[in-house]
Amino acid sequence: MNFQPTTLNERVDALDILRGFSLLGILLVNIFAFNLPLPYIDLGSWFTEAKDIIWHQTLDIYVQSSFYPLFSMLFGYGLAMQYMKAERTGTNFYKFAPKRLVLLLILGLLHAFFIWWGDILTMYAFCGFFLILFLRFGSGWLLTFGFVINGIMQIFFIGIYVLAGIANMEFEEPAVDIAMINNAITAYGIGSWTEAFLQRLNDLSVQMGISMWITSLLTILPYMLIGAAFAKWRLIERGKELMRLWIPLTIACLALGLFIKNAPILFTRTYLLDYLKVYVGGPILSIGYIGLIVCLCMIPVMPKLLKPLAKAGRMSLTLYIMQSIICSLVFYDFGFGLYGKVDVQMGVYIAIGIFVIQVIIAELWFTKFKQGPLESALKKLTYK
């Protein structure tokens, strides 16, 4: 039987809205990496102006470390939907899923080497190969695997903090490599495209080091598994039916996630609280965000009002790559040369402005086409 990807009539508005919402969150996080010498600095101790510190803390609480788990869960949700559809149509899912992941990996590598070092597609594709091995299991098992793998990481790192006696010690600014910071500022701030490319290779040696690939299996794969479990339960499609689950879950996750992420600011910034903020508070808040969108979509008028976000979500792959191209032109010297020259507030305004433009582009694109350009190309290469 001929297997086809999701058609327009089969799309779930809440999922597309969530993807569009995630695009904004990811851009707000990535804007620092385009404008500052990451990954060689600690953003928590980098800013000195009071206004910059307040703006950064706000982003740190509401955005940082909450959108990669969200997008990971959406990735797992989407892949599990494809698996279930293949089962319904009698198609061998494993004939096309690995091919799609290979194509995503290639696209991610091209993005990383030639546009921006902070690519996440490669890690998603890599973890996706492990995810498809689990999709044969039921939702309960998928959820268990996700929590167990994530729990192993939590026990390991918290155990290290406790055994090393630093769990309750006040967080100290890590040592930085001044030479690498200066190299990044020079290459991106006043360098040519070639100099920026060579610096990108150095940044990639950190971003795609062996430890990062291993860490991704503990920080990305578990959320993909959780998303796949949600898909098999059809938690988002059955939002109204499961209202009694979603409303209390949303309130609890938003409240708990925000409390944990605020803890280093409300109390002393210790190593343990800083860790919990990123690896516990962030994912909990991401589930709260999912619940918030699902609950909003229960209100009849909201899916229509949020339709522009949904259209952006339908071409999320295209817009993600477009964000990198635009930001490179905005910040690097071969473009407008704003690298290191904008404060946090202006960076947020730039990110929101870029996203608004992308939403308009998506709105115009779908007046003539049914898919984004990269989505269409990936579809043709995968399904022929």
Say whether pLDDT at 183 is over 80: yes
Say whether pLDDT at 78 is over 90: yes
pTM of the model: 0.93
- Phi and psi dihedrals of 375, rounded to 5? -60, -40
Structure tokens at 267: 């109390």
Sign of the four-CA dihedral 111, 13, 308, 248: negative
Domain that holds residue 285: 8-383
Q: Is 1 helix (H, G, I), strand (E, B) or coil?
A: coil
**Is residue 318 in some structural domain?**
yes
Average pLDDT of 85-92?
A: 92
In this predicted model, what pLDDT tens digit does every residue of 256-283 receive, in sequence order? 999 999 999 999 889 999 999 999 999 9
- Phi and psi dihedrals of 120, rounded to 5? -110, -15
**Is residue 266 in some structural domain?**
yes
**Is residue 362 in some structural domain?**
yes
**Is residue 1 in some structural domain?**
no
**Pair 239, 294: CB distance under 8 Å:** yes
**Is residue 2 in some structural domain?**
no
**Is residue 188 in some structural domain?**
yes
| DSSP alpha helix (H) spans, the chain | 13-35, 43-46, 50-62, 67-89, 97-114, 121-134, 139-164, 178-190, 193-207, 210-219, 221-233, 243-266, 271-276, 282-296, 302-305, 307-314, 316-331, 344-365, 373-383
Average pLDDT of 299-318?
A: 95
Q: Given this model, what pLDDT does residue 44 score?
A: 82
Q: Given this model, what pLDDT does residue 338 score?
A: 95
How many other C-beta atoms can be found within 10 angstroms of the C-beta atom of residue 56?
22
Say whether pLDDT at 2 is over 60: no
**Is residue 294 in some structural domain?**
yes
CA distances 17 to 220, 258, 290, 297, 308, Å, are 21, 22, 10, 9, 8
Average pLDDT of 291-297?
A: 96
**Is residue 3 in some structural domain?**
no
How many folded domains does the chain comprise? 1
